[in-house]
Copies of this chain bind each other. A is one copy, B any other.
Amino acid sequence: MGNWKTIEGGVCAAQGFAAGGIHVGVKSHNTEKKDVALIVSETPCSAAAVYTTNAVKAAHIHVDKAHLANGIARAAFVNSGNANACAPNGEQHAETICAAVAKAVGCAAEDVICAATGVIGQELNVGVIVSGIPALYASVSAAPEGSDAAAHAIMTTDTRKKELALETKIGGKTVRVGGITKGSGMIHPNMGTMLCFVTTDCAISPEMIREALLETVKVSFNRISVDGDTSTNDTFCVMANGLAGNPEITEKNADYAAFVEALKAVCIPLAIAMASDGEGAKHLITCEVTGAASEGSAEAIAKAVISSTLTKAAIFGADANWGRVLCAMGYSGEQFDPDKVDVGFASAAGEIPVCAAGRGIAFDEDLAKKILTEHDVVIRIAMGEGASACTCWGCDITYEYIRINGDYRT
């Protein structure tokens, strides 16, 4: 492992950040559920975000792109329960929210970014949100409870909150990086992700925070899939307020490398947690591809495997149907020689090779069943083509996924 240690506090771990989450009634029939979250920095932050590549984008994305044009932000607001995508007056409502948050925080509206997650196509009840912002701001706390409340407020069908923080040394100073995320369904990020907010007290320029974010998303959120559906709302944002007091990172030096390492160490586990908590999931599926011709090829193959509905159904049934793994590899678009491929399954219960040189080999079905009955299952693929590797994460598809998504709006 890297040169850091895990700490408490999520997005409140870094100095100068506070967060909170309350219920205001975005989705009126679910009164117990926190539905708005706020993250605030005492001082202006270098900030950057990436968004969904979906051609249909939520309203907040257009607003955030404008607000982050200068690379500076103070606060991030999120509502769950309504995606504010393909909905009447979406951008206007997003701007209204940013203005209301700015008024509470005491900053310019352009220094506020906002995000939303939930049902697509219904007009946002902006009135209840704006009315609730003073109470939301009053609730923010720099204690771990603040991050906990925010992490809960951004959840939709997630069953577990997802937050993580760590500290490391950069430029002789202690730097903290922490994040919260939500995932669950419509998860197949592509150069963006579902909602993820990371805060840090590292001193780093807007240009370098953007570079660090792009490097990180490629190896974290872009390597997971729940259901192959790339959302309209995916947003991954990093805010760095510089209060750690390290020499500001303005180029790709050793400090930059240390920061990227820390950022990845927060985001990769959060991405895995998102895959593991995929809607209805009973298994986290890790696909490790080694011996590939290139990292890109390994990634495309691993992603095809974890995205394959048939492979996901086989893991749900603890069925060692490795033919589906080869089938998914084959339609990944990558060129390779199937006759060099080895496949095995592994978990805490053991490891079993099932295919050697592209051909089925006799294996102990009982052991295979035992291995695949574990929650965390690994599909190991050795390509025999080269020296590159990549790991991607997904989950199985279950009756529960279909139940949830057969009746999502009501």
**Known interface pairs A232-B327, A310-B229, A360-B122. Does A55 touch B336 (Cβ–Cβ under 8 Å)?**
yes
With A55-B331, A86-B360 as known contacts, state yes or no: A232 contacts B326, CB within 8 Å.
yes
| A310 in contact with B54 (CB, 8 Å) | no
Interface hub of A190, A316, A405, A407 (most chain B Cβ within 10 A): A405
Docked CA distance A335–B360 (Å):
43
**In the docked arrangement, what's the CA distance between A144 and B122, Å?**
54
- Interface assignment of A4: CB less than 8 Å from any CB of chain B: no
Smallest CB gap from A321: residue in B:
B409
Q: Does A88 contact B (CB under 8 A)?
A: yes
- Interface 1/0 per residue, A50-83 and B, CB below 8 Å: 0001111100000000000000000000000001
Known contacts A229-B327, A316-B406, A359-B88; A338/B55 CB under 8 A: yes
A398 at the interface (CB under 8 A from B): yes
Q: How large is the interface on A (under 10, 10 to 19, 20 to 34, 35 or more residues)?
A: 35 or more
B contact residues around A326 at 8 Å (CB): 56, 85-86, 120-121, 232
A121 to B362, CA, bound (A): 10
A330 interface neighbour in B54, B308, B401, Cβ under 8 Å: B54
Interface centre among A186, A228, A229, A407 (most CB of B within 10 A): A229
Q: Which residue of B lies closest to A360 (CB)?
A: B121
Beyond A229-B310, A309-B309, A319-B407: 7 further Cβ-contacts under 8 Å? A119-B323, A123-B360, A229-B327, A232-B327, A313-B408, A314-B408, A316-B406
